[in-house]
Structure 1
Amino acid sequence: MENRAIMQPANPVLPETGFAVERLLPPQQAVVAFFSRVTIAPLKTERVSLDDASGRVLAEGVVADVDYPREPRSLMDGFALQARATPGEFAIIDDVHMGRAPRIHVTSRTASRIPTGGLLPDGADAVVPRENVSVDGDTLTVRAEVAAGESVAEAGADMRRGETVLRAPRRIRAAEIGVLATLGVTSVCVYRRPVVAVFSSGDELVDPAARPLPGEIRDSNRYAIAASLGAMGTIPRHYPTLRDEAPEFESALEAALAECDALVITGGSSVGERDRLPGAVAKIANPGIVVHGLRVKPGKPTLFGAHGGKPILGLPGNPTSALLMLEAVASPIVAALGGAPISSSLLQARLAEPARSRAGWTWYAPVRLTDDGGVPWAHPLALRSFSVSLTARADGYVIMNELDEEWPAGTPVTVHRFLGG
């Protein structure tokens, strides 16, 4: 049925959705179209301690106020000496101790024992490792020439005073926390975490704590989407379910726009008679709908809109489609809210079984990973957009673009891990 519709000559319409095929945008073009019309509202900043900085987005660059290392340090356990005096014999005159400044001056015929990380004593410009020398009592014999600076971390080799070590915006990870602590920075200026309203839409939805009656289902989307948004660095805020016939459908969205930085709604985003989201967004928002309908499987009825610089994301009601569209397509919009890109974990693998797609469409195929002798294999899972468990069974997804129709088994693929996994 879909194929016959696509072959129609003028403005074909997918019968099951009412979407005109030629008006559907590929996912990346849809994101570009969104940003061409919408400027995300500027974010406020706040100062947080290092303990609270992980995962936040740096709003101001960090400049080193000292060199690091501050003084030359040894990179090896060995002996500090003057390189120009090698090879030769040296009198061992002292030991360098961690946490203390050396007390001696090394000459052309003397050396000092030194641990990894120890400060070079005055006069020394190289360190020779223990395994490259022989020691007889207090006499050190070096048989090979040593170059100046060998096994030494010079002052400022890692960070120089006045250097912008961390540029904004960037997401603060454990590595950045370590840099900040090294520089004596105990609090940082970060962007405020955006608050995102999360709605589900549909008369059939009941709370997870309820026992569903015939025709009802527990609302899984709102919780899954909130968890994904939290992994993206936002603060998800749950709102009551939007009922198809409720008179307060539009007013609920308006209230959330007044309280939050963005809206994410699952369900009701298609073009059916009971799909109220497109009409509501067109009525209450400015510029309103920017993109409606993507040339993608699953997730065709995805909607991008905005009001006053606040994104409105309408996701399909099917659980697999909703989560894939949020993480695989809409994440750059969420990232713009937070001020920095959202990095996903990628893994190179090989396709364990053949995979087929539809020419001209982008396909997001969930896969399960196995390991065979250190080689990761990606097993495509049957795409059932209604499934709640599919994305939980999957380790990630692969993307088949518009030009791909079939991938044979063994094809190298990039697996995109789900956020928070």
Structure 2
Amino acid sequence: MAERLLSPSQAVARFLAQQRIGPLDSETVALLDASGRVLARQIRADADYPSAARSAMDGIAVAAKATPGRFAIRGDVRMGSSTAQELDAQSAMRIPTGGIVPHGADAVVPIEDIRVEGDVATVAHAVAPGANVVPVAGDMRSGETLLQPGRRLRPGDVALLAALGVTRIPVYRRPVVGVLSSGDELVDPSRAAEPGQIRDSNRYGISAALRVLGAEPKQYEILADEPESVAQALRGALNDCDAVAVSGGSSVGERDRLPAVVEGLGDPGIIVHGLRVKPGKPTLLGAHRGKPIVGLPGNPTSALMMFQAVAAPIVSSLVGAPFEVPAQWGRLAAPVRSRPGWTWYIPVRLEDDGARPLAHPLPLRSFAVSLMARADGFTVMEENDVHWRAGKTVRVCRFLGG
């Protein structure tokens, strides 16, 4: 009895269980180049922040125990320096937001809560100790773990690293992924397509998706549907790159050469071939000497949907960051039907309709290049789902970069 086809998630789980791939070696980049990169080591605070108590507001620094009362203003706290002056209970100093609280003071009274006559400030109400003061280590404590490996650095993280004085950032090397397209009917986008030919869009869509994930695409020439051509190109790409993605040639037709080539490479060769999914049944997952090989369908919609479903989690393992599907909830704008026994990826266009947008299902035509530009994402009908009514709340997976 033939083995039952796997769902996309099952296929990815099997691949990762067998190959156990992970992030590549690390490198250091300048602070300005760190945003979007994946952190390779733990970052800890090198000191208490702030290292001295600071004011959280513009006002006067006072001893809380002396409020309410009248205070002689002894001068100003200047930004960027501390004062050696120590205040007694009847004295105060003007202080800006972020200024270091002088010795003898333990609270700050905002400007709007004081009355000033000459060099005397009157505080009409009691102030609690610590009021409007950021204490020592109120932000970060020395040795505190702030960032963990595997974090994709955001602008706020870069600002934190700058504040810590970390100017060379340890990050995982971006994986280089070879991108190949197979098909005698394909021509480069720069050429006019004659009758029977189509411009190769998959290499560019897949390359764009790889960049969103944090990988570097390396494109190769279009492959002819000849076994030796496919084998030679695949060997070359595996030699140059950390992984390879091939669109086209993964089915079981006479002109589909990829499965035999991958199996011929061995070590281990094919891991999964054929998924219980529409569109995307011909998808192939394999590896050679620890380098992943993903065979995607040639139809544009199928190729990009399956890239997100199966290739993206694998590439993310190499990148070093968890793959998180950008998703939101929506309400179906029209009913959807499917055939039982298959997982269906239904493309949808989202329309803002208040808190929960409308999800308009689009006709699933895997050959259509425009579909992936018209749709905002897709919803997944599992194999036991046959009919969804209009108005049903569904989870919409946004396309990469959306």
Describe how 1:151-162 pairs up with structure 2 within 5 A. Answer: 151-162=132-143
Distance 1:62 1:225 in 2: 33
Q: 1:119 to 1:344 in 2, by over 3 A?
A: farther
**Counterpart in the other structure of 1:303:** 284
Q: 1:402 to 1:120 in 2, by over 3 A?
A: farther
Q: 1:160 to 1:207 in 2, by over 3 A?
A: same
Deviates more, 1:50-59 or 1:132-141: 132-141
Q: Partner amino acid for 1:387?
A: A
SS at match of 2:12: helix
Whether contact under 8 Å (2:150, 2:322) holds in the other structure is no
Deviates more, 1:350-359 or 1:228-237: 350-359
Describe how 1:232-311 pairs up with structure 2 within 5 A. Answer: 232-245=213-226, 247-311=228-292
Q: 1:136 to 1:404 in 2, by over 3 A?
A: farther
**Counterpart in the other structure of 2:68:** 87
Q: Compute the displacement of 1:100 (Å).
A: 2.7
Whether contact under 8 Å (2:185, 2:198) holds in the other structure is yes
Distance 2:96 2:388 in 1: 56
Q: Compute the displacement of 1:103 (Å).
A: 4.7
Task: Give CA-to-partner distance per residue, 1:370-389, whole Å, 9 cap, x none.
Answer: 22346532222221111111
Q: 1:212 to 1:96 in 2, by over 3 A?
A: same
Q: Compute the displacement of 1:186 (Å).
A: 0.8
Identity of aligned residues (%): 59
Task: Give CA-to-partner distance per residue, 1:179-223, whole Å, 9 cap, x none.
Answer: 111011111122111110000011100111111111110000011
Q: 1:386 aligns with which of 340, 344, 367?
A: 367
Deviates more, 1:222-231 or 1:145-154: 145-154
Q: 1:347 to 1:138 in 2, by over 3 A?
A: farther
Distance 1:192 1:330 in 2: 18
Distance 1:88 1:405 in 2: 76
- 2:341 is the counterpart of 1:355: no
**Counterpart in the other structure of 1:141:** 122
Q: Compute the displacement of 1:242 (Å).
A: 1.8
Deviates more, 1:294-303 or 1:331-340: 294-303
Q: Compute the displacement of 1:362 (Å).
A: 2.7
What 5-or-longer segments of structure 1 have no aligned partner?
1-10, 12-19
Whether contact under 8 Å (2:22, 2:317) holds in the other structure is no
Q: Partner amino acid for 2:213?
A: M
Distance 2:40 2:226 in 1: 43
SS at match of 1:379: strand
Whether contact under 8 Å (1:94, 1:104) holds in the other structure is no
- 2:13 is the counterpart of 1:32: yes
**Counterpart in the other structure of 1:53:** 34
Distance 2:173 2:283 in 1: 27
- 2:357 is the counterpart of 1:370: no
SS at match of 2:169: strand
Q: 1:219 aligns with which of 183, 200, 209?
A: 200
Q: Partner amino acid for 1:323?
A: L
**Counterpart in the other structure of 1:119:** 100
Whether contact under 8 Å (2:351, 2:357) holds in the other structure is yes
Whether contact under 8 Å (2:251, 2:282) holds in the other structure is yes
SS at match of 2:357: strand
Distance 1:61 1:107 in 2: 44
Q: 1:323 aligns with which of 304, 316, 319?
A: 304
Distance 2:125 2:387 in 1: 61
Distance 1:208 1:271 in 2: 27
Describe how 1:179-198 pairs up with structure 2 within 5 A. Answer: 179-198=160-179
Distance 1:120 1:404 in 2: 65
Q: 1:143 to 1:410 in 2, by over 3 A?
A: farther
Q: Partner amino acid for 1:346?
A: A
Deviates more, 1:177-186 or 1:378-387: 378-387
Number of corresponding residues = 402
Distance 1:314 1:149 in 2: 63
Q: 1:221 to 1:125 in 2, by over 3 A?
A: same
SS at match of 1:94: strand
Distance 1:245 1:181 in 2: 54
Q: Partner amino acid for 1:324?
A: M
**Counterpart in the other structure of 1:14:** none
Deviates more, 1:98-107 or 1:297-306: 98-107
Distance 1:337 1:406 in 2: 38
Query: Structure 2-normalised TM-score?
Result: 0.93
Task: Give CA-to-partner distance per residue, 1:379-421, whole Å, 9 cap, x none.
Answer: 2222111111111112222233344333333333333322223
Task: Give CA-to-partner distance per residue, 1:6-63, whole Å, 9 cap, x none.
Answer: xxxxx6xxxxxxxx6x611122111111111113266222121112222222112222
**Counterpart in the other structure of 1:411:** 392
Query: Structure 1-normalised TM-score?
Result: 0.89
Deviates more, 1:113-122 or 1:287-296: 113-122
**Counterpart in the other structure of 1:15:** none
Q: Partner amino acid for 1:59?
A: A
Q: 1:77 to 1:307 in 2, by over 3 A?
A: same
